[in-house]
Structures are given as structure tokens and as C-alpha cells.
Amino acid sequence: MPDIIQLLPDHVANQIAAGEVVQRPASVVKELLENSIDAGATNIKVIIKEAGKNLIQVIDNGKGMTDTDARLSFERHATSKIRKAEDLFDLHTKGFRGEALASIAAISQVELKTKKEDSELGTHIRIEGSEVISQEKVSASNGTSIAVKNLFFNIPARRNFLKSNTIETRHIVNEFQRVALAHPGIAFSMYHNDSDVYNLLESNLRQRIVTVFGKKTNEKLVPINENTDVVEISGFVAKPEFAKKKRGEQFFFVNDRFIKNSYLNHAVTSAFESLLPQGSYPSYFLYLTVPPKSIDINIHPTKTEVKFEDEKTIYAILRSTIKHSLGQYNVAPILDFERQSSFDTPYEFKRKPVDTPQIQVDPDFNPFKTEKSTTLKSASTSSSSHSHYTPKFNTESWEGLYAGLETQKISIEQPTAPDTLFNEEQSGETHGSKTYQIHNKYIVSSIKSGIVYINQHLAHQRVLYEEFLQNITVKDAMSQQLLFPLDISFNKSDIVLIKDILDDLISVGFDFGDFTEDRVNIIGIPVNTSESQIVIILEQLLEDIKNDVPDSSYSQHDVMAKSLAKSLAIKTGTHLDLKEQQKLVDELFSCKEPDTSPFGKKTFITVTLNDIDKQFNR
């Protein structure tokens, strides 16, 4: 029998290795940036064309390479960073595998120019799919420039697998931000399709964070500093009132390397404890320095996971340091995250004239509730707060104690309040005709088989979600033109993102005037929104798009529709008049999928007559 095992040719082995190292253009950006940093560069420029699909070029002023090194750098396992296995346990560089350039060269067309300071001429090498096309001496400036063209040109399946430009650009910006935040002392710039996205000068950490995330960030930051034998911690956390509704700006760096670590993330979150409104996430930029020997960064091929020798101690130190700093900066008062209902969209769409309600109904009427009196209610309407504080020891409150009972009695018989559960039954009508709101939260309606309880917030999310999705795909949304256009400032990468999703924004009803590099001029907004909400809506939308990194244009539309629906849905606590209630119920049940919110929560529950009967026959 003949032997059948063969060694894979290098270019095949490199292509296979490339699969691990290079998932997408952003991976190339990361590897090239890290090489430039390892080469001691103080100024690094990134040039991107078509989300990195056509070109990724990184130019540095680092130490450059000799002729031979330049050629060798593309060989697999060629590295200048470790020499023996022990070096792995004392790493001071980002790279060490010697795989990146070989992998990148296996799946793209690479052009390298490099020169060392003490050489007169530099080297120019062109490689396509691992094959050296040319190598010559050229005049060049000190440092290295690597241009990676047509990524995956020789693996069409992988190239087709790349996501939309918006998504790939987002990944690139994420990598760029991580590296830039880890090295505030290095100047970075980034250009995408010839417009400049970032121009970060050499600075301190605080300035770097602020230039990356926008001027508004400055006031949010609380400094963190702690030195122990096990770990040095520095950086910032954002004050709790600036917590994000989505896990957004959370950065850990260990020895200047961005890492993800859910255990340490938990330490931070728990340090905030009760300071955070429910369902929100703290922003943080935390820099841990530990002895290189005490960590293992080898466990993940793309090196974003790190194993610590003494994770428990670091957890404890991190938590108490942040707690202490939050206390010291006295960040106690927290804004109420639930916006007041007066800011919320009136449910009636603006394009329709708003009728004055004909019937006066006590919005808070509830036959089963006793603690709140009519007296107190009228007293509290003069204040805008929703608090139900009961003043003690005055006669009013004594009256209050009984008032509930009275209300109950009166209301049942009250002819002016026909919309109670009790006379629904006689009307014998199905949903849509008679509704009733309880606790400014649920809408109750009678149906043939019993009663349905609708969660107004979740139901409205469903209605808006389907409407937005329809608008984005059919592109027929109405826009209300603003008399006074809004001028809103964003950071540069957000402006790039807005431009990327411009078509979709227009299709849901936004209309834009001029863009500058950090401001947008908004001249029209979707019909069912109000001006005061626009900043919040857009910020939330950008955040959602960044976080969800959708994997197709459909899912990007989906993220958008969900985000807008979430921001705009009537909130719990909003009083709805009868018409609004009925409109919501009708719209909900004309939805394609009325049962659940866009996030999968139940929009309503039904209690059948049978269920009720059973309760009485127990």
C-alpha cells in the first residue's frame, strides 16, 4: 500500500491559519496596529477603503525592518518578539506568534515599504497569496507602511461572507478605539474613503477618552487609582447617572492590551450596586497593570481573553477601589431614569388632529384600590411628581383613609364612568369597543372568552416596531419638517455611523441638512416623534446599532425598528384617554404578531371566564 500522508504546502497551511487570525478586515487593522506599537511607533495612520474590503493601510514611524527581516516577516512563525518558550511568560509585546503577517499575506495582496533610520534606502515588497511578486530597494521614510488590498481575493467564499460596509466599518472602529485607548501617548489617525474619522494627538488618558467619545464625556468621568503588589489600577468610571441602557463603553486593559473578562466586569458592576438604575450598565475605562508572569494571554488566538493567576484578589481590590472612588466623588444623587411621562410621545400621531376627549374619566379609578383617596389625588395633581406620599397627622389624611372606600362605592354606581369591567359584560362586545386603564399601565378589555390585560408599553412597542419596519422596507414614512432645524453634536465615529445608515434614517422619516465632522443638522423628524426626544432617540439608536452588530441588512433594519420602538413606545405611567386606549388595542390586534413585544415579551394576557369561575368555586 502506498503512503498517503503529505505535508501541506506552506501557502495552504497559511491560508488555514489565516482563518483563525483574520476573520474580517478589523482583524487586520488590529494586527497591523499592534505591530506598529511593538515597533515603537509614536505616530500611526490607518487608511481604509470600502470598510477595509479594498484597502487597509497602516503607516507608522516605528523602527522599520532590514531587507532580510522584511522578507522574513511574512514567513509563518517568524517573529522578533520571543526566542524561547520561557519568553512566553514574560511578554512585553503585543505580538509573539509570528502568524499575523504570514496569514494576511496568504489571503490578500500586500505591499510593504519599510526603512530603518540608519539605512539609506528602504525595502519594497509585494506579495499576493503568499507568493512574493517583487522585492526592491526604494527610497522611503523611516518606519513601515503595510497596505493590504482586496482581502480574501483568493477565497471568494470568505469574501462573500463579509458583512455590509456599515458593519465591517463598525468592527474596524471598535478595534481602532481599543488600541487608541490603550495607548494615549501615541498619535493615531484614521481615514475612511478619504474622509478623516479620527485624528488623535498624543495626549493623556483623560484627553484620549474625551477625544474618542466626544466632549460630553469629560464631565462623566470619575478617576480610579490604586497601587497594590498584585495589581495597579488606573483609569475612569463614568458617574452612575451616565450609565448606559446597553452594555456600551466598557473597557478593560491589562498591561495595555484590551481584554474581555466577565468576572472583572462583575466586580465593577457590583461596586456600583444600588447606584445604578435597573437594567443599565456602567461605562468604564480601566487599566490594570500586573506582572507579565502572573497572566496567560495565550488562551485565545485573537488574544482578547486573559487568565489571571490571582483573579479573586484582583476582583476584591477592583471592587473596593471603585466603591471608594464613587463615594469620594460623592456621586450620590441619581437622576430618575424613567423619563417623566410629559416628555413622552402623545400616542396620537401628530399628523392627525387631536380631538378633545368627550368623556371625563378618573384615570386612576380602580375599584380594588383603597390606599389612595380622591382628596389626596386632587392635592397631588398640583404637583408634577408622581409620588404618592401621604402627609401624616392632618385631617385630610384621615379623610383619605376612608375616601377609597367611598370611591369604590360611588364609582360602581356612577353613571359617568361607564367604562368599567362591570358593565362591559352587558355590552357583549369584543375588544376595541370598551377598554379601561388601570394604574396607568395596563389596558383591560373584555373579549368573548373573558378578559384581556394589555401591557400598554409593550403593546405599543409591537405596534411601532411593525410600523417602523414597514417604513424602512417600503420607504414611505412621513416626515415632519422642523421650523427650526436641530443642530446636534456627535463624536466623529458616530457621524460616520449616521452617514452609513442615512438611507434607513430617511426612510423612517428623518431628514438631514448639512453634516460637519462633529455635528448634524436635522431638518425633519419622523411624524410620531417630538423634537425634545430626538437626541435621546438617536443616541439610543447608535448605541443599539453599535452593540448589536447586526449580521445582515435585514437585521440592521430590525435593530433600528426595535430601537425606535423601544424609545418611542408610550411609557408605563402614562395616562391614556379612552380613544387612545382603544386605538392602541385596535392597532395591536391588527399587528402581524400581536402576542409579543419586539423583544419577545408578552404584550397581553387573557383570563378566561373559566379561570374566573374556577376562582369562585374553589
Q: Confirm or reject binding of residue 36 to ligand ADP (CB under 6 A).
A: yes
Dihedral angle over CA of 584, 586, 591, 597, nearest 10: 30
* Region binding ligand ADP by CB under 6 A among candidate stretches 7-15, 61-69, 322-330, 600-608: 61-69
Q: At closest approach, how far in Å is the CB of 298 from Mg ion?
A: 14
Which entry of Mg ion, ligand ADP, none binds 81, CB below 5 to 8 A by partner kind? ligand ADP
Q: Which is nearer to ligand ADP, 104 or 561 (CB)?
A: 104
Q: Confirm or reject binding of residue 122 to ligand ADP (CB under 6 A).
A: no
Q: Confirm or reject binding of residue 255 to ligand ADP (CB under 6 A).
A: no
| CB neighbours of residue 243 within 10 Å | 23
3-state secondary structure string, 319-373?
Answer: HHHHHHHHHHCCCCCCCCCCCCHHHCCCCCCCCCCCCCCCCCCCCCCCCCCCCCC
* Region binding ligand ADP by CB under 6 A among candidate stretches 97-105, 192-200, 509-517, 529-537: 97-105
Q: Confirm or reject binding of residue 504 to ligand ADP (CB under 6 A).
A: no
Q: What part of residues 20-79 is at the interface with Mg ion (CB under 5 A)? A: 35
Please tell me the distance from the alpha carbon of residue 594 to that of residue 588, in angstroms, as a whole number.
6
Residue 100 burial class via C-beta count within 10 angstroms: exposed 0-12, middle 13-18, buried 19 and up: buried
- What single string gives the DSSP state of each residue in 280-322? -B--EEEEEE--GGGEE-TTSTT----EETTHHHHHHHHHHHH
Q: Confirm or reject binding of residue 97 to ligand ADP (CB under 6 A).
A: yes
Residue with cell 378578559: 451
The pair phi, psi for residue 584, each rounded to 5°, is -60, -45
Q: At closest approach, how far in Å is the CB of 149 from ligand ADP?
A: 17
Q: Confirm or reject binding of residue 240 to ligand ADP (CB under 6 A).
A: no
User: Which one of residues 49, 50, 78, 149 is an interface residue with ligand ADP (CB under 6 A)?
Assistant: 78
Q: At closest approach, how far in Å is the CB of 115 from ligand ADP?
A: 10
Q: At closest approach, how far in Å is the CB of 305 from Mg ion?
A: 17
Report strand pairing: 187-192 vs 511-515. Answer: unpaired
Q: What part of residues 410-449 is at the interface with ligand ADP (CB under 6 A)? A: none
Please tell me the distance from the alpha carbon of residue 534 to that of residue 520, in angstroms, as a whole number.
12
Q: Which is nearer to ligand ADP, 78 or 578 (CB)?
A: 78
User: Which one of residues 23, 54, 66, 80 is an interface residue with ligand ADP (CB under 6 A)?
Assistant: 80
Q: Confirm or reject binding of residue 31 to ligand ADP (CB under 6 A).
A: yes
Please tell me the distance from the alpha carbon of residue 196 to that of residue 188, in angstroms, as a whole number.
11
User: Which one of residues 28, 48, 100, 290 is an interface residue with Mg ion (CB under 5 A)?
Assistant: 100
Buried residues in 125-164 as b, exposed as e (16+ CB within 10 A): bbbbbbeeeeeeeeebebbbbbbbbebbbbbeebeeebbe
Cell of 98: 509570528
Q: Confirm or reject binding of residue 95 to Mg ion (CB under 5 A).
A: yes
Residues near Mg ion (CB under 5 A) are 35, 95, 100
Residues near ligand ADP (CB under 6 A) are 31, 35-36, 39, 60, 62-65, 73, 78-81, 95-102, 144
